[in-house]
Structure 1
């Protein structure tokens, strides 16, 4: 970082939101492939995407709106009907830097503000992987999924409480369906202390979640996982890294200590029954 702060204008926000939409679509596609029941969908919508992976999934959402004009009312109506047919709410994650008319358009259609999440970013520079962090081997995947999902269920307790609550099985499914991610694990005293992942999309390193086993919290595990992913992102040729956190959370505090700047917030707008979805924010997979 070398003291250089990352400023986020609408162009960078659009780039990040496009990457998010691509990630959500890839994960939803992976879920449908795993299930093979043909119930889900991925639909383009006004420069963004609407996806349904499986009942209760973190990947049931609309992402990337606000940078390509208002959604066509008829097209949005079809998306809303598709969610309703699957007895799911429509959740839109709308960037603070998106066209303000999109928020007004959605609230006029009955969407309500439910919560916020923060998007932070920093420029990627060189670095080294800490000695207590390494890439997850293929034969360790099931253990990684189980430990990270279990740690995610134990909230850290700092900052605004999350409105999201997922069963363990759904968390494991979501972690498995994160298409194209690189997974890492941290060890302390010979034990699996935490895990994290990231994905490269168009030069952006998307930090797609991290969790620390409760017994190993406040021991620098998340910091080590952050540094490992930053080093790997630099090696992969990324120019920026981004992460999503719960506002005021320990995860937000940790990433800001590692040079991440608060870029913008996303408003979570919901139509229908209260939603429980997210793209795998760092704060939701507890530090």
Structure 2
């Protein structure tokens, strides 16, 4: 995926490589060639350790790929999950909420969006097949977001964001519980989610929330940064 005008460095990413065929110099040439053709200044390769070839150190040096932080992938089964307490109202959004949903994402992640195009892209989430967007409200104010993607018996929790002023009020714990409940009700047997791996001595509240909801870490995925 390329988002050549994105200044956050988040959206241009390459992942899923090394499973159906080996991760080789030819694969890297093809992917990096794509980014160059798109005028993309930087991109992130998401590569679990198990897909890296024996000569990865040489390949990373050749293509100037620099290892950065890691994500952790988590999974839970379809066992029941209790609702999490919060003073906020939690549930799916309507089409009328789409712009406010996108605005929470832009604010929470600090995206630069002077022309409003990123918000326009994010607001389209409700039109993606199999995806339901959720929100948490303080009265009429949408203050936190999440989404649920369902594909057969698998589901993934994505798009968690909370306005800074509303963090610590249980919004994400409640959104995790509600989306998990809805995934189980939809017949999903495996529910996945990912979040950042905390550094030594650090905490990741999102990771702690997920573990309380019955999710277990199944692997880590380091991010390798490429710069044009």
**TM-score w.r.t. structure 2 length?**
0.79
Residue aligning to 1:176: 123
Q: Which residue of 1 aligns with 2:147?
A: 197
Given that 2:81 and 2:213 are in contact with CA atoms closer than 8 Å, whether structure 1 keeps it comes out as no
Q: Out of 178, 181, 184, which is 1:231 matched to?
A: 181
Matching residue within 108, 112, 118 for 1:151 = 108
Residue 77 of structure 1: CA displacement? 1.6
Residue 59 of structure 1 corresponds to: 11
Q: Indicate the SS of the match to 2:11.
A: coil
Instruction: Give the whole-Å Cα distance in 2 for the aligned partners of 1:255 and 1:172.
Output: 27
- Name the CA distance, whole Å, in 1 between partners of 2:184 and 2:29: 42
CA change 1:99–1:151 in 2 (3 A) is closer
Shift of 1:177: 5.2
Deviation at 1:222, TM superposition (A): 0.8
How many angstroms does 1:189 deviate by? 4.4
Give the secondary-structure state (helix, strand or coil) at the position aligned to 1:243: strand
Please tell me whether residue 133 in structure 1 is matched to residue 133 in structure 2.
Answer: no
- Residue 86 in 1 paired to residue 53 in 2? no
2:168 to 213, 218, 223: 218
CA distance in 2, matches of 1:201, 1:243: 14
Q: Which residue of structure 2 aligns with residue 114 of structure 1?
A: 68
Q: Are the equivalent residues in 2 in contact too, given 1:203–1:237 (CA < 8 A)?
A: yes
**How large is the Cα RMSD of the aligned pairs?**
2.6
Whole-angstrom distance in 2 between the partners of 1:147 and 1:76: 35
Partner of residue 137, structure 2: 187
Q: Which stretch of the first structure deviates more once superposed, 200-209 or 169-178? A: 169-178
How many equivalent residue pairs? 211
> Offset at 1:54?
4.3
Looking at structure 2, the residues matched to 202 and 170 of structure 1 have their Cα atoms a distance apart, in angstroms, of: 31
| Residue pair 1:58, 1:174 contacting (<8 A) in 2 also | no
1:156 equivalent in structure 2 = none
TM-score (norm 1): 0.64
Q: Please state how far the C-alpha of 1:122 moved relative to its aligned partner.
A: 1.1
What residue is the counterpart of 1:264 in the other structure? Answer: 219
| Structure 2 gaps, min length 5 | 199-203
